[in-house]
Structure 1
Amino acid sequence: MDQTDREILGYSRYVVLAAAFSAMFIISPFEYAWSSMSGHIGAIYGWSPEQVALMFTTFIIFQSVGMLPGGMLRDKYGPRWTTAIAGLFSGVGILSIALGPSYPLVLVLWSVGSFFTGFIYNNAVTTGNKWFADKRGVMTGLIAGAFSWGSLPFIFPIRAIPASAPPETFFTVVYIMAAIIGGVSIVAALLMKDPPSGWKPTGWVPKTKAIARPSEHNYTVSEALKTGQMWVLIVSFVLVSSAGLAGMSNMVAYSNSFHFTATAATAAAGGIALANGFGKLTLGTLSQRLGVENTMILSYIVSGLFLFLTIYAGMNRSEWLFVCAAILAIFFWASLFSLFPIAIGHYFGEAAAGGNYGVLYAIAKGSGGLYGGILSTMLITQHGFPFAITIAGVMAIVAGLILIPLKYSPPIWKDEEAAAQLNARAAVGRR
C-alpha cells in the first residue's frame, strides 16, 4: 500500500518545502546582493575591479562544482547532514568578507563557502522533484525563487551605508548574514527528508501532456549524459546563464555608466532581486500549462530582447525605461533556475534528480560564470557596457532557439522505444 507523506515523515510534505525554501533563502546574498556588496569590498580593502570581479567568478564556479557532489550525496544519504554541514561552511564563506585585507585568505575562505552553497542549493531545489511530482513547476519555482528573495533584507541596508561610514558598519551586516546562514541551515536540515524512490502522492495521475513524462525510466547520471538532449540542455544553460550573470553582477555599475541617479541603481538592484524570484515562480508554474520546452524557448528569447532594450534606454538617458527593461530581462532570464531542474525531472526522473541536475549545473553555470564574471568585466573595461550587454543578449536568444528540437524529440528510454516500435508494427500488420 502506498504511504502518504505524513506516514513517511510524521508531518506534511509542505514542512519539507518550507525547510527547503528557508535553506535556499539564506544563501541568496552570495549572488544576489553581490552588486551591492562589491563596491564596499573594493573600497574598504583597496582591491582592483578585477580582483573583486574574480570573487564573483569564483563563487559561480565553486558553487556550480559543489552542486554535483552535493546532489549525489543527497541522492545517496538524504539531505539532512549535507544541508547542516554545508550551512556552517557557507556561513564561514560570507564571514570571510570581513577578514581582509589579505586577498588570498579571503578568496580561499570565500571559495570554500561558495562550494558548500552548491550543496544547499541542490538539496533545496530538487525537493520539488522528489516530493511534488504533482506540482513540480510551482514548487520548484517557489524554492528557486527563495535564492533571489533572500538578498532583499540586506540589499537596502547595504546600499544605505554612506561612503564615509567606517568599515565596521558594513561588517556588522556581514556578521549578521553569517550567523543567519549557519543557524537557519541547521534548523532546516532537521526537517528535510526524501521520500522512497518513485514515490507519488496517493491517487495522483498526470492530467496533461505538459506534465506527463515522455519516459517512465529513472535515468542515472551516466545514462542521462549519454543522451543528446542532456547536452543540448547544458549548452543552452551555459549561454543563458552567461547572459544574465553579465548583467546582474554589474547592474549598479551598468546604471552608473549612463550617469543615472543612485535611486535608479538601487531600484534596479532591488527590483532585480524581486523579479528574479517571481520570474522563477511564475514561469515555473506556467510550464505546467505550456510545457517546459515552450516556456524555456519563450523566456530566454524575450530576456535577450529586454537586454537590448537596456542599451537603448541608457543611450537615450531614460532612467525609468532602463530600470523596467533590466527588471524584465532578469524576470525572464531567472526562469532558467526553475525550468532546468523541472526539465531534468521531466526528462530523466526523480530518483537521481540531485545528481543529474548537479552535473548540468556544475558544467553549465560554472562555464557561464566565466563570462558573467571576469570575462564580461574585461570586455566592459576595454569596450564598454553596450558591447558586453549586446553579446549577452545574443547569447540569451540563441539559448532559446537551440531548445526548439527538444519539443519534437524528448529522451525516450531504449526499451520503451523498442516496445513502441513493435506496437506500431503490430498495428500496421492488423490493418
Structure 2
Amino acid sequence: MARPSRRWLLVGVAAVLMGTAGSYQFVWSSISGAVGARFPGISGPALGTVFTLFVAAQTLAQLPAGRIRDRYGPRNVLLVAAACLFVGYAGVGVATSFPVVAVAYTLGGVGAGIAYTVAVNTPVKWIPEDGRRGLATGLVTMAYSGTSVLFIPLLRGSIDDAFTTTLVALGGVVGVGGLLGAWLVRDPDRVGRDRPSEDGDQADDSDAPAESDAVESTGDGDAETPFDDGVGWRTAIGTWQFWVLYAVLVVVNGVGLMLVGQSVSFATGLGLSATVATTVASSIALADGAGVLIVSGLSDRFGGERTAGVSLVVCGCALAGSVVAGARGLAVPFVALVGCAAFFRSPVFGIFPTLVADYYGAARSSENYAAVYTAKIPGGVVGGTVAGALVVALGWSRSFLLGAALLVAAGVAALLLRPVSPDDDDAGPSAREAVGDD
C-alpha cells in the first residue's frame, strides 16, 4: 500500500507537470508581440492562428495520450511530452520563418496536452474518494495558470533583448519539468487486469492502494456502479452523463474564454476607465487560480455535482451583476463581480476529472476525461468567433448577459448529474453490457 506521503508527493509532481503545460497557453500573449516584430508583415490574425493551432493540438493530443497512459503507464508518453515541450519554445526561438513558428508552437501544444491529461488524472488514480481527492485535483489544476505567474514577468523583462536565448532557456525549463514527470509519476498497478507493469514484468502491487483505499469510486459511497473496473470512452459516450458533462464544459470554456479574452474591451465598452480595465484583467487571473483550489476542495465535503452546479449558478449571477454595475459606472463593484465570476467558473476543471473517474472508473480516467475535454474546441469557437459576432450584433451588455444565462443553465444541468447506475435505463444496454470490452 502506498503511503499517504508518497501519494501527495505524486500530486505535487503532477502540479509541476501541469504548470509546464499551462505555460504555453498563458505566456503566448507575452511573446506574440516579439514574434510579430521578428517577422515584419505578419498580421494579427496570423499570430492568432498560431494560438488556435496550439489549442487544437493541446486538446486533440489528450485522447490518444490518455488511452496509452491508462494501458501502459505515464512514462513513455511523458518522454514524448518532454521532447515536444522543449521543441515548442526552442523552435520558436530559433525559427527563421513564420511557418516554423507555427509548427513549433503546435508541437508544444501536443506536449502540453499530454502533460495536462497525465497531470490532471494522477490525483484521481492515487487519492481515494474519502482522502481529499477534490482538493488534490484542484491543487494540480490551479498550477495550470498559477505557475505562469512566475514565467510572465521574466519573459517580459528579457524577450525583446534576448529573444532566442530566452525561449531556448524556457524550453529547457519546461522540458526538464516533463522529464521530472516521466521519472517520478507512476500509476497504481492494476493487478490481475490487462496492463503489465512498466518494466514489462508481472505487475507488482507494492505501490498500489490497498482494497480499502481503492481509488475507483462508486460515485455515491456504497452504491454499486456498472463501471467500477473502468471502461473506455466508447462506452462512456453511450451515457447521458457524458453529454451533460460535455455540454457544461462547452459553456464554461466558451463564456470563460470570452471573459478572459474580452475583459479589457468589455470594461472599456461599458465606458469604464483604462485603469479599471487593467485591474479587471488581473483580478480574473488571480481569482481563476484561487477558485479552482478552494472550491474544488469543497467538493470533498458537499459532492462534485452539487459543488460544480452551485458554483456555476453563482458565477452566472456574478457575471450578470457585473454588467449591471459596469453599465452604471460602478468601478469597484464591477471589478469585484467579474473576479467573483472567474472564481466560481474555474472549479469545474478541478471537479469534473473526479466525476469522470467516479462515473466510469479511475482505471480509464485519462482517456475518458480527455474525451470530455475536447469540449474546449467548440468552447473556443464560442469564446472567440461567436462571441465577436454577438458583440457586434447585440452589444457588450446583452452579449455578457446571454453568457451569464448560459452559465446558470450549465449550473442547473450539473446539479442534475448523478452516477451511472446498473439499472439506469438512460445508460443504454450497450453502456451497461460493455464493461471492460473497449
TM-score normalised per structure 2: 0.81
- SS of structure 1 residue aligned to 2:132: helix
**Alignment of 1:412 onto 2:418:** no
Total equivalences in the alignment: 405
The residue type equivalent to 2:52 in the other structure is T
3-state SS of 2:71 partner: helix
Match of 2:401 in 1: 390
Uncovered stretches (5+) of structure 2, i.e. residues with no partner? 192-207, 427-438
Please point out which of 12, 15, 36 is paired with 1:21.
15
Match of 2:175 in 1: 182
Counterpart of 2:64 (choices 59, 64, 69) is 69
Whole-angstrom CA distance in 2 between matches of 1:136 and 1:150: 21
Query: Per-residue deviation at 1:358?
Result: 1.1
In the alignment, does 2:145 pair up with 1:148?
Answer: yes
1:331–1:166 CA distance, 2 compared to 1 (3 A)? closer
CA contact (8 A) 2:356 2:369 kept: yes
Name the CA shift for 1:380/1:183 in 2 (closer, same or farther; >3 Å): farther
How far has the Cα of 1:42 moved from its partner? Answer: 5.1
Question: Conserved in 1, the CA contact under 8 Å of 2:310 and 2:415?
Answer: no
Secondary structure of 1:168's counterpart equals coil
Compared CA separation, residues 244 and 166, structure 1 to 2 (3 A): closer
Contact 1:219 1:352 in 2 (8 A): yes
Structure-2 separation of matches of 1:252 and 1:97: 28
Deviation at residue 411 of structure 1 after TM alignment: 0.7
Q: Which amino acid aligns with 2:136?
A: M
The one-letter amino acid of 1:331's match is F
In the alignment, is the contact (CA less than 8 A) between 1:70 and 1:120 conserved in 2? no
Q: How does 1:302-341 map to 2 (within 5 A)?
A: 302-341=314-353
Q: Which amino acid aligns with 1:188?
A: G
Bigger mean CA deviation after superposition, 60-69 or 104-113: 104-113
One of 189, 198, 220 as aligned partner of 1:196? 189
Equivalent residue number for residue 30 of structure 1: 24
Code of the residue aligned with 2:47 in structure 1: it is V
Equivalent in 259, 275, 291 of residue 303 of structure 2? 291
The code of the aligned residue for 1:231 comes to W
Q: What SS is found at the alignment partner of 2:322?
A: helix
CA apart distance, 1:229: 1.2
Measure the CA separation in 2 of the matches of 1:248 and 1:63. 18
- TM-aligned CA deviation for residue 195 of structure 1: 0.4
Q: Is the 8 A contact 1:72 1:354 kept in 2?
A: yes
Within 5 Å, give how 1:108-257 maps onto structure 2: 108-133=103-128, 134-157=131-154, 167-168=160-161, 173-197=166-190, 199-201=208-210, 203-204=212-213, 215=225, 217=228, 218-255=230-267, 257=269
Inter-partner Cα distance in structure 2 for 1:382 and 1:52: 25
In structure 1, the residue matched to 2:436 is none
Say what the alpha-carbon RMSD is for the aligned residues: 3.4
Q: Residues 90 and 391 (structure 1 numbering): CA distance in 2 closer, same or farther, change over 3 Å?
A: farther
Taking the TM superposition and a 5 Å limit, the aligned residue runs for 1:349-428 are 349-362=361-374, 364-380=375-391, 385-407=396-418, 410-413=419-422
Deviations 1:274-323 (A, max 9, x none): 32222112121111211111111111122222223333344334443333
CA distance in 2, matches of 1:100, 1:374: 29
Distance 1:288 1:351 in 2: 20
Q: Distance in 2 between matches of 1:30 and 1:120?
A: 12
Find the counterpart in structure 2 of residue 78 from structure 1: 73
Change in CA separation of 1:227 and 1:271 when aligned onto 2, cut-off 3 Å: same
Structure 1 residues not aligned, in runs of 5+: 418-431
Contact 1:214 1:412 (8 Å CA) reproduced? yes
**CA 1:140–1:171: 2 relative to 1, 3 Å:** same
Cα distance, 1:169 vs structure 2: 5.4
Instruction: Please give the per-residue CA displacement for 1:164-216, whole angstroms capped at 9, x wherever unaligned.
Output: x9833566654443221111211222011100238545644899985666526
Question: Contact between 1:53 and 1:377, CA under 8 Å: does it hold in 2?
Answer: no
Q: For the Cα contact (< 8 Å) 2:142–2:289, is it kept in 1?
A: yes
Note the alpha carbon deviations across 1:387-408, whole angstroms, 9 max, x for none. 543343233222222233324x
Partner of 1:420: none
Q: Distance in 2 between matches of 1:401 and 1:212?
A: 25
- Displacement of 1:53 after TM fit? 3.2
